[in-house]
Structure 1
Amino acid sequence: MAGYRELFDASIEDARTFWAQAARAVTWIRAPHTVLDDTNPPFYRWFPDGEMNTCANALDRHVAGRQDAGQERSDSGNQRERSDSGEQWGGRGEQTALIYDSPLAGTMRTYTYRQLLDETSRFAGVLRGLGVGRGDRVVIYMPMVPEAVIAMLASARLGAVHSVVFGGFAAHELAARIDDARPAVVVSASCGIEPTRVIDYKTMIDNALDLAEHTTPACVILQRDQAPCELKAGRDVSWTDAMADAHPVDPVPVAATDPLYVLYTSGTTGKPKGIVRDNGGHAVALLWTMRHIYDIEPGDVYWAASDVGWVVGHSYIVYGPLLLGATTVLYEGKPVGTPDAGAFWRVVAEHGVKALFSAPTAMRAIKKEDPDAAHLARYDLSTLQYLFQAGERLDPGTYHWASEKLGIPVIDHWWQTETGWSIAAAPMGVEPMSVKPGSATVPMPGYDVHVLRPDGTECDAGEEGSICIKLPLPPGALPTLWGDDERYVASYLSAFPGYYLSGDGGYLDEDGYLFVMGRTDDVINVAGHRLSTGAIEAVLATHPAVAECAVIGVADAIKGQVPRGFVVLKSGASADGLVDELIAAVRDNIGAVANLKRVDVVSALPKTRSGKILRKTMRGIADGRDEPVPSTIEDVDVLEALTPILQS
């Protein structure tokens, strides 16, 4: 196999040849002859004349006998053209496809590829019976249960477009997404389960549908034993009852450029942005990443400890592992408290996980509760070869802790909802690259990364600027926003013409390693000096008593802005003398210009459900603004407890 540098250079110098080769891993109904349509920039399209079905690639081809693996049929039953990928698909019908592990529900069950195909094809029949067809939308508002995965795959099987909304989102946020997506069907459950409570989903669904202007004719509701609900006559359908009478349907051929899903992310205007993911480019990119970035082969066990409501759940709980023929873990639990800080290690040991993907906040939570990693000794982690981290910056302190305790490569990699897969990583399936603490390592093939100054000129090595990607983006990245091409251009492509603006700031060092320091609005201006709050956080996080931290810039009448630090202590750590030590460390490592004079020790930091610290919200409260509570917040009580400190 070619090394990283050869692969990267080939992807930039001849993108068409590179991605045409990668596309051979997809089972096409009609193989694409055109790899990239660049006739209408900045709206680039990959594999525009290809035809396939994502669900068939994730399920059917693994169940098929090897002699006919890779062959799909149209609804009329006529054999269609396919590409010869050289891949021996098929023969995996009895292999485990999905492991559902729920300490919250006290349930564990597995699905073979054949069982998952049966459930999915029959639920596709349910959706078809409710009027869902190619191009229609299906909103999925569910907890971490196998039925959520089945609903996603069933939508894809019909050529419908699914939009998963994180279970537990407030009614008005769900209503906004319903009005934008205009679904034919909503799929939900009676409740979700948290360590300390049961969340009533059905009431939120009912309230959202009352608030929404769009009328949704049907809702499919999964009844859970923890909190069954009443169904509304004439609209609500029981999942169990519908499946009892369902007939399986075949996969529907779709264009590679047809949308597979819409995933909403927060917008600066308050209106959520619908990130569009296409079918063909998405499948090509994810198949490439599973082998080349994560070093996963068919039959390996892969666990992304995320949620299907987030992009990580889409890419690496559902589609990536199943497209490859791996076994994926669906975990309904927490890193701590279900029941203890050894929860992740139990899952790895019991299911033989090869690669674990989590957010740094999960590792920080485990480190806080179990700083000496005593729970590790209870489990056999011999199968675990990699720990991948993404979601927000992996601070060097947590990197060193995880590396030391696990004794395996710990890889920080950086990507976004918009890109769908890694912009920068260490491609472990290509070559074992050395890792630099604090760096997301190197740009991945297809991502021509540049760090730019405000005037558009290139930053020098080590100089911080706006991280941008030269167009076109590679397959799998967003081609546009749902129903709003103008907003797509204005949000991402207008600041630096010819480039995608990531919204993150950072720098490339002399070795080409990328350091992502945080959102560009997390760069503060202290008396004319531009400083990254991420750089200050990196210093605070190195203190042995600190479990996690956040730094925000607050308004100052004299200096314009000054930093304020917030730290959470490790279990059993003392705060005596800590603040003075932290302030001195920042002065020694960054300089007096940082002007850090206040650090508060707090019990917890407010976060989104995906683990990102709500720095923007904290900054707004500290500056005296009436800051709305984000819909994505994990625990509003944490923010409420912190508010008086921020305002002081």
Structure 2
Amino acid sequence: MLPWTTYETVYEAALNQPETFWLDAARRVTWKQAPVTACRARTDGWHDWFPGATLNTCYNAVDRHVKDGRDGQAALIWYSSATKERQVVTYRELQERVAGFAGGLRSLGINKGDRVLIAMPTMVETAIAMLACARIGAVHVVVFAGYAGPELARRIDDVAPKVIIIASCSFQGQTPIPSAPALNEALAAAMHRPQACVIVQRAVCRASFIPLRDHDFHTLEQSTPAEPVTLHSEDPLYILHTSGTTGHAKGIVRDNGGHAVALALSMELIYGCEPGDTFFTTSDLGWVVGHSYGVYAPLISGCTSVIVEGGASASAIRALCHQHKVKCLFTTPTQMRLMRQESRHLSGAILPTLARIFVAGEYADPILLDWARSYFHKPVVNHWWQTETGWSITAHFFGLPEREPASLINDIGRPAPGFRPSIVPSVPDEQCGEIVLSLPLPPGCLAGMWKDGAIRVPSAYLDETGRYYRTFDEGTIAANRAVHMLGRSDDVIKVAGRRISGVQIEKIIAAHPNVHACAVVAMPDELRGQRPVAYVVLDPQAACASLSEEIVARVNEVLGRWVGLKEVRFVRRLPTTVSGKIIRKRLLVS
């Protein structure tokens, strides 16, 4: 039960009495040695959360729930959009499988601090491998299963894993893609050599084992079970590579203690979930949402987690929500747009247990959110966070009795406890600018960056004073603390000395009934410095004729002709990352 009734009381408590606030929040976690200090500065200039305290994340996510009588409750529910397979794993079964596989990793020489690279699609075995690493203090490095050999080789050389774990195949749609060729190509190119490889054999596409190198995943599960080891709060839990915020691939390091505390608090405060509730994220486990809210947060909180391999259809998502009594659905705008496209042939979803839907990963326009609300008949909200933060910088807080203000419903919300945003104006006296966060960041955020075999201060994210974390996103902050996002710093367009966010233009274009998706980028202009160009994906039944003029007229009517939108380019699809974010830089060279 949360001790606060309003947003202001919870935010002020974290702002004015951070030690007390976070030590209280830490009580949601089972500790071997409870913390007596919330935050302490490191000698390298960064900070540690709950230093000196000890725990085990796997114990918190699995064993303690078995001990507390949740052994028969579903822990993981898995569905494959490719093979249509389903699997339900109880907390007791998960404990047995994780402990056995952890023992198997031990038999391969894996110990505390060793890195284990996991290149698998979203499967039960992926979650088992992650939790098994956490159980014995190994550091898991989950990467996208579809990476080609050269990209996988770069990850291997960066983290020097002792063991690599793959599935025999992943899928592109319904087509199986063998994984062994990419692994072999990566190992041939990488400088580092792992001690062993582990393969999950899938019936649809089996891999040939290389003697002495390869081991069967399910055979290793039958090893002597390993007990959870005691770890310091500041010990690394995982490394996750990202290139989104500063443009270059880097390994974000997450700790054990702060991560567990932040995620446990977020499940209750932001998502309004309690033990026994079912949480469903459509994210791949290779991305941060899959880490945080596909595996760790729901399990640490004693919830049931629904995970999906591949892009689930609208009908599949509806069925999963209905069959498993999902309370919270967490998805992306890309997935939502696909659902909208398919839903033309489906009636609205009647899902009595579904309480709310959360969207993150990229901007979701109000038109899309309104469609989702009318389709699901539930609250649908944005929230803003990054791979680096691991949980929401800003959000809507459904765990509080106080209702969220209606004026914020289409925006990204207000800061979560411990996040202290401010604005660095790009132009003097402007209210908008880059959003920066005061240090120290709250628990659950990056504990550092992995570089040259060690955890380093994330200096690429710090401003010139070293006192602020740069988000590289631009926006404004209202008097009621609400943060309004304009877009990435390099997505803001400068037209004849005036600044306009591409997102502002995209909102207007997306409101057109024939527009499926859009992106606006800045092109050089000899007279005005820059001009916006819109790339538009139409709904399948729409025609391009006269739509370009309609779109330009809409933007002129709402924002004014000074914006200078004259060019609308119709494309079949927008370039996106494998996690669904639009790659606007690629549009600049198209």
Decide: shared fold, TM above 0.5: yes
Q: CA RMSD in A?
A: 1.8
The partner residue of 2:327 within 345, 354, 362 is 354
Mapped pair 1:216 → 2:194 = yes
Report SS of the residue matched to 1:482. strand
Report SS of the residue matched to 1:342. helix
Report the CA distance shift for 1:205/1:616 in structure 2 as closer, same or farther (over 3 A).
same
Taking the aligned partners of 2:459 and 2:289, their CA distance within structure 1 comes to 25
TM-fit CA distance, 1:327 = 0.2
Mapped pair 1:565 → 2:543 = no
Taking the aligned partners of 1:495 and 1:454, their CA distance within structure 2 comes to 15
The partner residue of 1:451 within 418, 423, 443 is 423
Bigger CA drift: 597-606 or 434-443? 434-443
Report SS of the residue matched to 2:116. strand
Report SS of the residue matched to 1:183. coil
Q: Which residue of the partner structure matches residue 427 of structure 1?
A: 397
TM-fit CA distance, 1:383 = 1.1
Mapped pair 1:134 → 2:112 = yes
Mapped pair 1:249 → 2:226 = yes
Q: Is the contact made by 1:517 and 1:535 (CA closer than 8 Å) also made in structure 2?
A: yes
Q: Is the contact made by 1:393 and 1:438 (CA closer than 8 Å) also made in structure 2?
A: no
Mapped pair 1:535 → 2:504 = yes
Mapped pair 1:289 → 2:262 = no
TM-fit CA distance, 1:565 = 0.4
Structure 2 residues without counterparts, runs of 5 or longer:
none
Q: Which residue of the partner structure matches residue 144 of structure 1?
A: 122
The residue correspondences of 1:160-239 to structure 2 (distance < 5 A) are: 160-239=138-217
TM-fit CA distance, 1:454 = 3.8
Q: Which residue of the partner structure matches residue 378 of structure 2?
A: 408
Taking the aligned partners of 1:549 and 1:349, their CA distance within structure 2 comes to 32
Q: Which residue of the partner structure matches residue 616 of structure 1?
A: 585
Taking the aligned partners of 1:528 and 1:270, their CA distance within structure 2 comes to 26
Q: Is the contact made by 1:495 and 1:501 (CA closer than 8 Å) also made in structure 2?
A: no
Taking the aligned partners of 1:571 and 1:162, their CA distance within structure 2 comes to 42
Taking the aligned partners of 1:303 and 1:548, their CA distance within structure 2 comes to 25
Taking the aligned partners of 1:262 and 1:569, their CA distance within structure 2 comes to 39
Q: Which residue of the partner structure matches residue 13 of structure 1?
A: 16
Report the CA distance shift for 1:234/1:41 in structure 2 as closer, same or farther (over 3 A).
closer
The residue correspondences of 1:87-102 to structure 2 (distance < 5 A) are: 90-102=68-80
TM-fit CA distance, 1:189 = 0.9
Taking the aligned partners of 2:456 and 2:559, their CA distance within structure 1 comes to 38
Give 1:187's aligned amino acid.
I
Mapped pair 1:345 → 2:318 = yes
Q: Which residue of the partner structure matches residue 595 of structure 1?
A: 564
Q: Which residue of the partner structure matches residue 99 of structure 2?
A: 121
Q: Which residue of the partner structure matches residue 632 of structure 1?
A: none
Q: Is the contact made by 2:23 and 2:36 (CA closer than 8 Å) also made in structure 1?
A: no
Taking the aligned partners of 1:505 and 1:383, their CA distance within structure 2 comes to 37
Taking the aligned partners of 2:361 and 2:370, their CA distance within structure 1 comes to 18
Give 1:96's aligned amino acid.
A
The residue correspondences of 1:468-487 to structure 2 (distance < 5 A) are: 468-483=436-451
Q: What does the per-residue CA deviation read over 1:178-213, in whole Å, with 9 as the maximum and x for residues that have no partner?
A: 111111100111100222421121111111111110
Mapped pair 1:584 → 2:553 = yes
Taking the aligned partners of 1:43 and 1:369, their CA distance within structure 2 comes to 47
The residue correspondences of 1:15-30 to structure 2 (distance < 5 A) are: 15-30=18-33
Q: What does the per-residue CA deviation read over 1:42-66, in whole Å, with 9 as the maximum and x for residues that have no partner?
A: 40111011000000000010011xx
Mapped pair 1:363 → 2:320 = no
Q: What does the per-residue CA deviation read over 1:349-402, in whole Å, with 9 as the maximum and x for residues that have no partner?
A: 1211111000111111222333x4x4244x541111101000011111101111
Q: What does the per-residue CA deviation read over 1:154-179, in whole Å, with 9 as the maximum and x for residues that have no partner?
A: 00000010000011112111111111
Q: Which residue of the partner structure matches residue 60 of structure 2?
A: 57
Q: What does the per-residue CA deviation read over 1:121-150, in whole Å, with 9 as the maximum and x for residues that have no partner?
A: 000001000000000000000011100000
Taking the aligned partners of 2:456 and 2:504, their CA distance within structure 1 comes to 32
Q: Which residue of the partner structure matches residue 159 of structure 1?
A: 137
Q: What does the per-residue CA deviation read over 1:69-128, in whole Å, with 9 as the maximum and x for residues that have no partner?
A: xxxxxxxxxxxxxxxxxxxxx110111111011131121110110000000000000100
Report the CA distance shift for 1:407/1:52 in structure 2 as closer, same or farther (over 3 A).
same
Q: Is the contact made by 1:359 and 1:610 (CA closer than 8 Å) also made in structure 2?
A: no
TM-fit CA distance, 1:437 = 5.1
Q: Which residue of the partner structure matches residue 77 of structure 1?
A: none
The residue correspondences of 1:513-524 to structure 2 (distance < 5 A) are: 513-524=482-493
The residue correspondences of 1:484-503 to structure 2 (distance < 5 A) are: 488-495=457-464, 497-503=466-472
TM-fit CA distance, 1:39 = 5.6
Q: What does the per-residue CA deviation read over 1:475-527, in whole Å, with 9 as the maximum and x for residues that have no partner?
A: 00002101368975431113454111001111123432211222101012222
Report the CA distance shift for 1:508/1:205 in structure 2 as closer, same or farther (over 3 A).
same
Taking the aligned partners of 2:357 and 2:264, their CA distance within structure 1 comes to 19
Bigger CA drift: 508-517 or 441-450? 508-517
Taking the aligned partners of 1:142 and 1:98, their CA distance within structure 2 comes to 17
Bigger CA drift: 341-350 or 413-422? 341-350
Report the CA distance shift for 1:532/1:274 in structure 2 as closer, same or farther (over 3 A).
same
Percent same amino acid among aligned pairs?
43
TM-fit CA distance, 1:579 = 1.1
Taking the aligned partners of 1:238 and 1:13, their CA distance within structure 2 comes to 53
Taking the aligned partners of 1:257 and 1:486, their CA distance within structure 2 comes to 11
Q: Is the contact made by 2:381 and 2:410 (CA closer than 8 Å) also made in structure 1?
A: no
Report SS of the residue matched to 2:221. helix
Report the CA distance shift for 1:546/1:496 in structure 2 as closer, same or farther (over 3 A).
farther
Report the CA distance shift for 1:332/1:30 in structure 2 as closer, same or farther (over 3 A).
same
Report SS of the residue matched to 1:411. strand
The partner residue of 1:317 within 294, 300, 310 is 294
The partner residue of 2:34 within 25, 31, 45 is 31
Report SS of the residue matched to 1:481. strand
Q: Is the contact made by 2:78 and 2:123 (CA closer than 8 Å) also made in structure 1?
A: yes
The residue correspondences of 1:261-272 to structure 2 (distance < 5 A) are: 261-266=238-243, 272=249
Report SS of the residue matched to 2:448. coil
Report the CA distance shift for 1:39/1:102 in structure 2 as closer, same or farther (over 3 A).
closer
Taking the aligned partners of 2:193 and 2:27, their CA distance within structure 1 comes to 42
Q: What does the per-residue CA deviation read over 1:526-579, in whole Å, with 9 as the maximum and x for residues that have no partner?
A: 222222111111111111211211011122233222111011223433433211
Q: Is the contact made by 1:286 and 1:319 (CA closer than 8 Å) also made in structure 2?
A: yes
Taking the aligned partners of 2:361 and 2:202, their CA distance within structure 1 comes to 30
Report the CA distance shift for 1:268/1:94 in structure 2 as closer, same or farther (over 3 A).
closer
Bigger CA drift: 572-581 or 17-26? 572-581
Q: Is the contact made by 1:399 and 1:437 (CA closer than 8 Å) also made in structure 2?
A: no
Q: Is the contact made by 2:45 and 2:457 (CA closer than 8 Å) also made in structure 1?
A: no
Q: Is the contact made by 2:253 and 2:449 (CA closer than 8 Å) also made in structure 1?
A: yes
Report SS of the residue matched to 2:473. strand
Report the CA distance shift for 1:25/1:362 in structure 2 as closer, same or farther (over 3 A).
same
Give 2:583's aligned amino acid.
L
Q: What does the per-residue CA deviation read over 1:316-357, in whole Å, with 9 as the maximum and x for residues that have no partner?
A: 000000001000001113143xxxx42221221121111100
